Amino acid sequence: MAKLRVIMSDPETGTSKTVELEETRVIPLIGRKIGDVIDGSVVGLPGHKVQITGGSDKDGVPIRPNVHGGVRRRVVLSGGVGFNPREEGERKRKMVRGNAITDEIVQVNMKIVEKPKRVKEGRKTKAKKEKSEKEAETEAQITAAPGQA
């Protein structure tokens, strides 16, 4: 099996994190395409949802979303991934790879699209319960105090 470098970016914070996947951890990504949303536990982020945004193979040939399959192809490009035109209207035949992830891919780019929801409600309700118990004790002391005095 191949070694795969996954670069995950977080659009909210603007940070990125690199994770190396080897052997059996790569298998869930094989056959996926650009734009697929997968579970983050595959790349070490349980509870998250991540989207595949791009990648490249061992020679640096980029994955292009509108080329189907996982093979290299020479296609005429007028811009976008794999070609930056110098002049307006310039087109050129360039080598790109299809949008499917294969075992020849060495880098996959992903972005976080959904984070797990934090359970703040449980903490608040627990705090409210503790507070209400304390209030009950205080009320019991207040009602007991006038009767004793």
What is the tens place of the pLDDT at every residue in 93-122?
Answer: 999 999 999 989 999 999 999 988 875 555
Query: Closest Cα to residue 43, out of 62, 25, 27?
Result: 25
Report pLDDT digits (tens) over 7-17: 999 999 999 99
Alpha-carbon distance 102 to 68, whole Å? 12
Q: How confident is the model at residue 3 (pLDDT cuts 50, 70, 90)?
A: confident
pLDDT of residue 93: 95
Query: Closest Cα to residue 50, out of 33, 63, 36, 32?
Result: 36
Calculate Rg over the CA atoms of the chain.
27
CB-based burial, 112-141: b 16+ in 10 Å, e otherwise: beeeeeeeeeeeeeeeeeeeeeeeeeeeee
pLDDT of residue 147: 52
Q: What is the mean pLDDT of residues 120-141?
A: 57
The 8-class DSSP code of residue 63 comes to B
pTM equals: 0.73
Number of residues assigned to the chain: 149
Q: In percent, how much of the chain has pLDDT > 70?
A: 79
At residue 133, does pLDDT exceed 90?
no
Partners of residue 22 on adjacent β-strands:
3
